[in-house]
Structures are given as C-alpha cells and as structure tokens.
C-alpha cells in the first residue's frame, strides 16, 4: 500500500502536540512538525483497545462462527476500537471452544474493515456461583487445567486472558500453571482481601470490571477492590458507562490506580442496536435507557462503546483527556502484550483515529487501512 500522510493535533507520548504530520502504511513511518500532509478535522489519537467485549450489532462471540465474530469486530471498528479481545462467557466446553476457534480464524485473516482481534478473554467458566451476575450458573465449574490447554489450542497462539474466581476449587493450581503464559484476571468472585492478595502472589495480574460481580469494598473486609488499591502490580478494568460505576468512583479510582486502569465496554450483542430483548448465552436481556439487564434487574454487560467510555471519563468523571487516552490505548496494549500498539510513534502499527471535540469519530485506520464509517 502507498504511504498516507495526515496532519493535525495529535496525542504523542503522553501529551497533545499541535500541527504534527504522521506518515504511515501498515506501520508509522515518520512523525514531524512542519511536514506536508492532509489536514484532518479533529484530534488524532491511537486507536482504542477493548480487552473485554462480548458482542455488538446483533452478534456475540459465543455464537461461535467467523461470521458473528466479523460482525462484532466490524461494528466496534466503526466506533473507534481498532483492537479488541474477543470475550467469552461461562458455557459448555464445546461452546467456548467454538468461540475461540472462530475468533482465532478471524484474527489470522484480518478482514478489512474490522477491529483486529489481538487476544481472547475467557471470562469464566471458573467463577463464583454467588457472583455469577448474568453468566449461566449451570455452566460454572471447578478450574480445569486440561480444559484451559484445549482452549488455548483452539486460540491458535492468540494471547489469552482468563478471568476466574481465586477462591474456587482448582484455582490456585491453574493460576500457578498458566501465570507465565496467559494474563490471569480476578473476576466474578466472592474473594476476600486475603484470597485476592494470595492470588496476586501466585501470579494473578489483572482484575475484571472492578466493583462489578465481586464483594464490595468494606472498611473491615476490603475484598478484591482493596487488593487492587494496595497491589501495584495489578491492572484493573472499569466500565465507564455511568451505570456500572458511579462517576465519582470512576474519577477517584482512575487517579488512585494511575497507570493501571484500562477502560472496557463489556458490550453484549445489543451494542449499536435499538432497545429491546436480546440473548446473552442462556439469558434474555432487556436493553432500555442505555442499560442491559436481566429480568431481576441484574446488569448483563453493557451497550457501551469505547469512544463513549472515553467521553464519559472526561465529561462525567471530570478527568483531563490526556489522562484518559492512555486508559483506552497504551495501558490495555501493555496488559495484552501488544508491544507495537497503543501509541503514535515510529515503528508502531498504524492504528489511528480522528475524533472531534464533541467525541464524534471522523476517521479510523486499522494497520493503515481506512475504515468505512458509513
């Protein structure tokens, strides 16, 4: 492909720089001021990276087909997500394996117009029945090393995140077995503070959707949230839709866990769709007023997009954009081990977006190929 050069205000390093020209093909070839280039209408950012996304546009990764995976990846690319972790749910061995196989096939082919699948996030089935949230309680089971090996085989070399409850049977052995080869994440858990600290000592390095589907922070039992505050080696996800976590808590914990928070959507198949009833594995979910809930009111994922999460962190949580951008770019890239993503720098993959002051997506590029936003 022929190199492209665009010019404008851009997020370089950890700050905004005016009048920067960026030349790129699949990788960024040159950066500089005073160079010629097509002036863009908006600010140039690294493409967003979502490490926890189940679905969108009516499809879900658990549908287990390449077509469904492509639909999800294409839908999120149109909202500024250039890379994502295809996320599964607690389900049968066959269903989770089919989801991993389909996502890995799409990742290998890199279909034009799609966000790139850079990892598979296995959210369950090794979780707490008490903190299952919207996950299928019949599919929850003890941690199984052999099953994980089968799932990693189905992933065909894609990096993996495994979210589990560290207090359940077999969790300690699984953490120690895979801590050097996958990202072990704590989530959907009733773990005490001691349980969480022990899991971190064994090799857990991430926390799924902090505050949600875990015991709440308490001054006599801090739980996983307290462990996140004290354990500087762990990163944590926040769902910034204004529903899952109050804006005041978003603001406080983004500062308290500076450099360790990544924004995620936890989006389900209704993302980008009108209000109505949708399927989340074995559950019916009603989507209304920007929230997805089971019949009993339990939150069931979200209909959030990454660009809206960034906007909410600025407009609801009151944080400066230069503090928020890394939470959606360089920090998730680091967590996923995507060493050439998440920044605008020479040699990095040219995943770029152009965003207006009102957080409207104007343009998006995945590895230098422009996304059709229509």
pLDDT tens figures, 33-82? 878 889 999 999 999 999 999 999 999 999 999 999 999 999 999 999 99
Domains of the chain: 1-46+342-374 (2.30.40.10), 48-340 (3.20.20.140)
Cα dihedral 245→248→251→255 (10° resolution): -110
DSSP string of 313-334, one letter each residue: HHHTS---HHHHHHHHTHHHHH
DSSP string of 43-55, one letter each residue: EEEEPEEEEEE-E
pTM of the full predicted structure? 0.98
Q: Would you tell me how many other CB atoms lie within 10 Å of the CB of residue 192?
A: 18
Alpha-carbon separation of residue 207 from 204, 218, 226, 236, 284 (angstroms) = 8, 18, 12, 5, 26
pLDDT tens figures, 256-296? 999 999 999 999 999 999 999 999 888 899 999 999 999 99
* pLDDT greater than 90 at residue 113: yes
**Catalytic positions, written as ranges:** 266
Which residues make beta-bridge pairs with 31?
22
The pLDDT value given to residue 217: 96
Q: How far apart are CA 222 and CA 224, in angstroms?
A: 7
With a pLDDT cut of 70, the percent of the chain lying above it is 100
Closest by Cα among 242, 219, 169, 167 to 197: 167
Alpha-carbon separation of residue 37 from 18, 45, 177, 349 (angstroms) = 13, 16, 50, 19
Q: What mean pLDDT, rounded, does the chain reach? A: 97
Q: How far apart are CA 76 and CA 287, in angstroms?
A: 18
Q: Which two tokens stand for residue 153?
A: 């085989």
């Amino acid at each position: 492909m022929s190199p492209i050069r665009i010019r404008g205000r851009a997020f370089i390093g950890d700050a905004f720089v005016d009048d920067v020209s960026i030349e790129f093909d699949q990788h960024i070839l040159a950066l500089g001021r005073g160079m010629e280039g097509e002036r863009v209408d908006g600010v140039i950012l690294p493409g967003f990276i979502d490490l926890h996304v189940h679905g969108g546009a009516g499809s879900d990764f658990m549908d287990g087909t390449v077509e469904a995976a492509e639909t999800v990846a294409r839908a999120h690319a149109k909202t500024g997500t250039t890379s994502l972790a295809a996320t599964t749910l607690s389900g049968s061995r066959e269903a989770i394996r089919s989801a991993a196989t389909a996502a890995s096939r799409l990742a290998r082919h890199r279909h034009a117009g799609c966000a790139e699948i850079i990892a598979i996030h296995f959210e369950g089935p090794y979780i707490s029945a008490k903190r299952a949230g919207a996950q299928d309680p019949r599919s929850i089971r003890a941690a199984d090393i052999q099953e994980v090996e089968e799932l990693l085989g189905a992933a065909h070399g894609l990096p993996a995140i495994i979210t589990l409850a560290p207090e359940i049977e077999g969790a300690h052995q699984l953490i120690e077995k895979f801590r050097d080869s996958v990202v072990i994440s704590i989530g959907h858990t009733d773990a005490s503070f001691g349980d969480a600290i022990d899991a971190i000592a064994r090799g857990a390095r991430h926390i799924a959707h902090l505050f949600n589907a875990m015991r709440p922070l308490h001054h006599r039992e801090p739980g996983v949230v307290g462990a996140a505050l004290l354990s500087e080696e762990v990163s944590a996800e926040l769902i910034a839709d204004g529903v899952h976590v109050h804006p005041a808590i978003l603001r406080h914990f983004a500062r308290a866990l500076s450099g360790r928070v990544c924004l995620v959507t936890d989006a389900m198949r209704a993302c980008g769709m009108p209000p109505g009833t949708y399927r989340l594995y074995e559950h019916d979910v009603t989507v209304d007023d920007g929230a997805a809930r089971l019949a009993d009111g339990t939150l069931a994922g979200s209909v959030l997009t990454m660009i809206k999460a960034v906007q909410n962190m600025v407009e609801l949580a009151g944080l400066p954009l230069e503090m928020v951008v890394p939470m959606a770019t360089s920090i998730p890239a680091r967590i996923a081990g995507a060493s050439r993503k998440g920044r605008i720098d020479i040699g990095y993959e040219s995943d770029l977006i152009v965003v207006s002051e009102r957080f409207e997506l104007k343009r998006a590029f995945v590895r230098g190929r422009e996304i059709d936003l229509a």
